Structure 1
């Protein structure tokens, strides 16, 4: 088996990133988190459907839940009926965040977007290495 040491990002890096980025570093100000959140929100809202970078369905659900927690606070509506599968999944994801402060929800929204981008970067790094080595 060939070594992939030339790939700039490893799975261990991704796991490290996922664990440690979910905690807000003490030197991050609320203003800084707000700036990053607004940029992340803009990216998600303007992401073309044809883009090679697309969050997974699970990541999209998480992004939705954190967005709702930031923009509306805790769930204040009834759970959708059993036949509204998508609405129910969204409501359940949002309900899990009950009590979370907006600044924490903003930070986690950013974390999910960065994680999705990291996974795409890792995928393409491996793909390009495979193509290079196949020649």
Structure 2
């Protein structure tokens, strides 16, 4: 297992142990990075206007189109580390 994969796996565990729930924008960023890291570029049809949450998730994931899975894993790790250290924006 490469270092980035090990760090990504650890970050997935760490995010569950956070003492404070991240804000919605941070959660959306984590979701999009996770999907890009695990599934690659966005797939499927964009949800309709009645599915607001689904639309935001799809758009956030779509904004990462072309980002390599390893780069998405590294960014996910960085966001989780910033949340753990309290320096997240």
The answer to whether the aligner puts 1:80 opposite 2:47 as a matched pair is yes
Correspondences of 1:1-135 after superposition (within 5 Å): 31-44=2-15, 46-47=16-17, 52-119=19-86
Instruction: Output the CA distance in 2 between the equivalents of 1:58 and 1:116.
Output: 13
Instruction: Output the CA distance in 1 between the equivalents of 2:85 and 2:20.
Output: 10
Deviations 1:32-55 (A, max 9, x none): 1111110001222x34xxx63322
Assess if the C-alpha contact under 8 Å between 1:59 and 1:116 holds in 2: no
CA-atom RMSD in angstroms = 1.7
Assess if the C-alpha contact under 8 Å between 2:14 and 2:80 holds in 1: no
Query: TM (normalized to structure 1)?
Result: 0.59
Instruction: Output the CA distance in 2 between the equivalents of 1:102 and 1:84.
Output: 27
Count of residue pairs the alignment pairs up: 87
Instruction: Output the CA distance in 2 between the equivalents of 1:109 and 1:92.
Output: 17
Structure label with greater radius of gyration: 1
After TM superposition, the runs of 4+ consecutive aligned structure 1 residues lying more than 6 A away are none
* Structure 2 stretches lacking a partner, 5+ long: none
Assess if the C-alpha contact under 8 Å between 2:34 and 2:72 holds in 1: yes
Instruction: Output the CA distance in 2 between the equivalents of 1:76 and 1:61.
Output: 17
